[in-house]
Amino acid sequence: MQQHIHWFPGHMAKARRVIGEHLKLVDVVIELLDARIPVSSSNPMIEEITRNKPRIIALNKADLAEAEWTKRWTTYFATQGFSVVALEAVSGKGTKNLVSLVEQAAAPVIERLVAKGIRPRPVRAMILGIPNVGKSSLINRLLGTATVRTGDRPGVTRGQQWIKIGRNLELLDTPGVLWPKMEDQTVAFKLAITGAVPEEVYDREHVVDGLLTLMREHYGSMLTERYGLSVIAADNTELLSAVGRSRGCLRSGGLIDLEKARMILLNEFRSGKLGRVTLDQPEESTDSE
């Protein structure tokens, strides 16, 4: 990856300040990560930001990640002392387990209030996550209705609100969400291909070229099965042309519309139509530490 991808929007700098101001109101922090990129989708300053509040790791989009690697990530985070749950926010799978973990983590706080003679109140939690990791989809699923604005563009959610989930849980939806760690260009590339950063901050041609290299080296069978390829071309342009040809991305004169092919490949990768993919592995995180 020769291209540099940089992104630190101003509203995220403000978000950190707002998060810090509201942390004193919550009992538990839910850190929502993309199960395909648990390290790359985390905030590098999360420990400092949360000020040692009880933190639950929620691996969202688990249906898009390789199941075996998600199990390994669950074990990894557990060995680090975290409660962790794999989620599929769109379908709702894992959300009941998440609520249970939140209530368990907050139990000591509620018990201390009762011991002081204070009437028990609902558990208060804050969900933190980088753009497009699925915060609004998770809240919608917990509510059982789509009342929180969602979108497939990074940073679409604005404002803040308390959201009551049943009798025993209140969520503080925080504005602006967290920023990813963009200094490492390998991380930035993973964020780009999974849709966590806006398209205007990277060159699609370069990013798709990297995606083709990744797929060819590690997930070649997904390309052959999805696009009906007999062989995987060693040249990325040839491979992209083959993908475009299989999807009818033709211009006049029989030329392949490579830009249209790039968009199709990216969208099908992000939506899981190519198959389950995990780009971060636990060994990488221990090495980086």
Residue ranges with strand state E in the chain: 28-34, 55-60, 83-86, 123-128, 161-165, 169-173
Residue 246, annotated as binding a ligand = no
Residue 40, annotated as binding a ligand = no
Residue 176, annotated as binding a ligand = yes
How far apart (Å, rounded) are the C-alpha atoms in residues 212 and 94?
Answer: 32
* Residue type for position 49: I
Residue 63, annotated as binding a ligand = yes
User: Whose structure tokens read 């990744």?
Assistant: 214
Q: Residue 137: which H helix or E strand, with range?
A: helix 135-143
Residues 59 and 78 sit within 8 Å (Cβ to Cβ): no
- Beta-strand pair 123-128/169-173: parallel
Write out the two tokens for 218: 């590690």
Residue 155, annotated as binding a ligand = no
How far apart (Å, rounded) are the C-alpha atoms in residues 33 and 156?
Answer: 17
Q: If we measure between CA atoms, which residue out of 223, 204, 230 comes closest to residue 274?
A: 223
Residue 62, annotated as binding a ligand = yes
Residue 61, annotated as binding a ligand = yes
Annotated binding site for GTP: 60-63, 132-137, 176
Annotated binding site: 60-63, 132-137, 176
